[in-house]
């Protein structure tokens, strides 16, 4: 599995540039951005969400403790929460 260093090396840029492309922050030339995106797609790179959440000190985890997920009410509740989180 490829990491950010591999993507940067293959795209001919620095790790910071790859980070800016992934996070959609800072300025990156259009040609460089497209090249980085192409390399990311070709190697199947995906950021490590656990490491990312530790760095940013936030995550996108929703947790529920329910008495019975097979009960109609709780099943519906879980479905609607899941559906809503997938849209955002």
Q: Where along the chain do its domains lie? A: 1-47, 59-88
Q: Residue 21: how many CB atoms within 10 A of its CB?
A: 22
On the CB side of 65, CA atoms within 13 Å amount to: 0
Dist CA 40 CA 20 (whole Å): 13
> If you classify domain 1-47 with CATH, what class do you get?
mainly alpha
Q: SS3 breakdown of the chain: % helix, strand, coil, rounded to 5? A: 60, 0, 40
Per-residue model confidence (pLDDT) at position 44: 93
**Segment 7-64, tens digit of pLDDT:** 999 999 999 999 999 989 999 999 999 999 999 999 999 988 888 888 888 887 888 8
Asked if pLDDT for residue 88 goes beyond 70, the answer is no
Residues 6+ apart with CB under 8 A from 56: none
Q: Can you give the pTM of this predicted structure?
A: 0.64
């Amino acid at each position: 599995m490829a990491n950010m260093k591999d993507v940067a090396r293959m795209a001919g840029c620095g790790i910071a540039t790859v980070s800016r492309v992934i996070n959609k922050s800072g300025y990156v030339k259009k040609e460089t951005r497209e090249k980085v995106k192409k390399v990311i797609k070709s190697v199947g790179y995906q950021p490590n969400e656990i490491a990312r959440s530790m760095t940013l000190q936030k995550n996108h985890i929703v947790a529920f403790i329910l008495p019975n997920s097979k009960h109609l009410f709780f099943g519906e509740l879980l479905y609607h929460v899941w559906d809503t989180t997938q849209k955002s």
